[in-house]
């Protein structure tokens, strides 16, 4: 898999923080974590590849979408 690049909307970032307690900036680090589990999201789109990233932060399990 190629090294990920990230772009996000600042307003959606704030919604993510309020809803999930995780900023997009923090979540992007999950994709670089050696202990992460990546799964392709086959249902998202026919036009682009998207992924789930399952990871642990301070003993709590999280998932990110990219």
Long-range CB contacts for residues 1-10, cutoff 8 Å, separation at least 24: 1/38, 4/28, 4/31, 4/32, 4/66, 6/31, 6/66
Q: Give the whole-angstrom CA distance, residue 31 versus residue 52.
A: 9
The residues, any chain, with a CB within 8 Å of residue 64's CB and separated by 6 or more, are: 22, 27, 28, 30, 31, 52, 53, 55
- For the chain, give every domain's residue range: 15-65
Per-residue pLDDT of the chain (66 residues; tens, 9 = 90+): 555 567 788 999 999 899 888 888 888 877 778 888 888 888 877 788 888 888 877 666 666 555
């Amino acid at each position: 898999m190629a090294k990920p690049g990230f772009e996000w909307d600042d307003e959606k970032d704030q919604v993510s923080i309020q809803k999930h307690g995780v900023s997009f900036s923090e979540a992007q680090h999950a994709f670089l974590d050696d202990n992460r589990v990546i799964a392709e999201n086959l249902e998202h789109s026919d036009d682009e590849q998207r992924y789930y990233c399952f990871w642990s932060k301070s003993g709590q399990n999280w998932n990110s979408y990219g």
